[in-house]
Chain A
Amino acid sequence: MAKTIVEKIFDAHRVEELSGGIHVLRLDAVFAHEVTTSVAVNELAALGKDKVFDASKIKAVIDHVTPAKDSKTAQQGKILRDWAKRNSINDFFDIGRNGVCHALFPEKGFVRPGYTIIMGDSHTCTHGAFGAFAAGVGTTDLEVGILKGVCAFRTPETIRFNITGALREGVFAKDVILSIIGKIGVNGATNKIMEFTGPLIDSLSMESRMTLCNMAIEAGGTSGICYPDMTTVDYLWPFIKDTYSSKEEALADYTKWISDHDAHYDDVVDIDVSSLEPVTTFGYKPDNIKTVREMDGTHIDQIYIGSCTNGRIEDLRIAAGILKGKKIAGNVRGIVSPATPDIFKRALSEGLIDIFMDSGFVVTNPTCGACLGMSNGVLAEGEAAASTTNRNFNGRMGKGGMVHLMSPATAAATALAGSITNSSLFKG
């Protein structure tokens, strides 16, 4: 029977199928950060179950608030740190090596096509960019994942997005995913897989595919997913070169996961991006989308470039390209947070950090902090941010604050203008 990529991954990992279409899957990786895992660790310890199913399959990082901002966040970090040590979790990333989980773990080669991955974080769907089934879960699912290496999911239904056309200059993967969410709504893919295919996806870098898959959850999607191809192999090659004799052999192996041409889809949505303009959000839901043109001149207090959506080297290069030799407006504060130490170092060696600092940005260490109003850039009541993050809920970056989601290019141009504006790259 013809199958989608996620159906194939389910078949290869199914422990059992329970009544009502519940599939218990074996997990290839369980990712952990200090905010949701520390509670799981405490609960398991209280139950006398302080153990892990396979230490080599658990990857942990302190990323949400780092360095700790107060005694409570210090305690959360300590719980994770002590747990990793007790359970011999060698892939544990503490200060100096830590970064935003969904940027760090792919960079370390922990995500592979065909993998099943869970994490106590809703943006775990990011890793679908590699052709993996990766889903955010709550603390209890995480506890069972840590203890038993399994997790339960409903029969996957898939919406296939067939994306054609070339992006105009100044339009990016962020604009594509925001416009898709605007089209289908925050509930448009609930309990569904969002499979991104077509010529546009084939042309995107892994960074852009991660941006796309990262926001699947904002439409309610269980996971976003792209097919593995030579771009995937190139990205992973340093980690798989001992496994395969050539890139072609790796590609041939990964190709087995790709959806059959006659697989069943719950829905197929054709999208032509040729006329897409840069977009941003205007309200408290990620599906409140308008073109940047329509939002031109909207007041902004703070620019934030970073996060698991758009804090990667490609994003920093685009933003720096717009900021180079210019100063940000006097009415805005600019914050850039390279998502991992490696991205930070590359940005330093490429001169991007100089550009950001000369333009008036502050550069923070890698952390999730500001995106969810926990640290490093919380908004005051009544303030507005132009942000490359993924969520604009009421209070998200600070109580009483407004968040306008946008691409790094639009954010950089907005920093220069002092209010929402199209980037100089966009000639439309």
Chain B
Amino acid sequence: MKTFAGSILFLDRSDINTDEIIPAKYLTEITKDALKPYLLEDLRLGSFDPAKDIEGKSVVVSRANFGCGSSREHAPWALEVNGINLVIAESFARIFRQNMYNCGMMAVELPAGGIDLLFKKFAGTGARLETDLKNSKFILTSETEKEETAFSISGFDRDLIEAGGWLGFAESRY
């Protein structure tokens, strides 16, 4: 099972799409590792600089409809090879969300108010996040703040995380 903890990359915009996460021109790569330098290359968002701001991050927190657009699993892979296995957002595009769990990664929805709170309290603070999967809660800590946030995931999604993804689950069942 993958780990779901570490420093947080805050991306404060809705509708961050797959072409921003990994542009189509890199879909000619046939290994996941080759995608590593290109994560979020086309995202224009305030002072965000992918060359500086991704290094050392393990969790993404964003707004609504994260991962909309293409079916490319290269989007989760580009996150995965950069050490990011967890995205928390107000909502996700269907295919992106399924691709995350299919890879044994997590895409967790929180209500808009909950996401707002995380941005207000922790964005720009160098905060860390731990995942208590057993009790379905995230623990966020910065130098001055601590916050526990409950989340819910379905039994199926939990099975996929534990099986390391859909291929492992399907192999054992069909």
Using a CB–CB cutoff of 8 Å, the interface residues on chain A facing chain B are 15, 18-20, 22, 24, 35-36, 38-39, 42, 47, 64-65, 70, 72-73, 75-76, 79, 119-122, 124, 136-141, 143-144, 147-148, 150, 152, 154, 186-187, 190-191, 217, 220, 222, 285, 372-374, 391, 393-396, 399
Contact = CB atoms under 8 A, between A and B. Distances in A.
A72 B76 CA distance: 21
A72 B28 contact: yes
B166 A141 contact: yes
Contacts of B72: 35-36, 138
B30 A20 contact: no
Given A285-B15, A374-B25, A393 B65 contact: no
Contacts of A22: 154, 156
Given A141-B166, A148-B174, A35 B27 contact: yes
B24 interface: yes
B68 interface: yes
B155 interface: yes
Interface string B14-56: 1101011001110111100000000000101000000000000
29 contacts: A18-B155, A18-B156, A20-B155, A35-B27, A70-B28, A75-B30, A76-B28, A137-B71, A137-B95, A138-B71, A139-B99, A140-B103, A140-B166, A144-B174, A147-B171, A148-B170, A186-B68, A187-B14, A187-B65, A190-B65, A190-B68, A190-B92, A190-B94, A372-B70, A374-B25, A394-B19, A395-B20, A396-B24, A399-B23
A24 B166 CA distance: 12
A220 B156 contact: no
B117 interface: no
Nearest to A378: B25
Nearest to B28: A72
A140 B154 contact: no
Contacts of B166: 140-141, 144, 152
Contacts of A394: 19-20, 42, 44
A186 B102 contact: no
B33 to A, nearest CB: 12
Contacts of B95: 122, 136-138
Contacts of A148: 170, 174
A24 to B, nearest CB: 8
A69 to B, nearest CB: 9
A395 B156 contact: no
B93 interface: yes
Contacts of B156: 18-20, 22, 152
B65 A139 contact: no
Contacts of A144: 166-167, 170, 174
Given A187-B65, A394-B42, 8 more contacts: A19-B154, A36-B73, A39-B73, A72-B30, A138-B72, A140-B73, A144-B166, A396-B19
B64 interface: yes
A15 B173 CA distance: 11
A84 B94 CA distance: 29
A143 B15 contact: no
A138 to B, nearest CB: 4
A122 B71 contact: yes
A75 to B, nearest CB: 7
Interface string B139-174: 000000000000000111100000001110011001
Given A138-B72, A187-B64, A399 B42 contact: yes
Contact of B73 (A138, A373, A391): A138
With a 10 A CB-CB cut-off, give which of B70, B98, B99 has the most chain A CB atoms: B70
Contacts of B69: 122, 217, 391, 393
B77 to A, nearest CB: 8
B71 to A, nearest CB: 4
B15 A187 contact: yes
B153 to A, nearest CB: 9
Nearest to A120: B71
Contacts of A38: 30
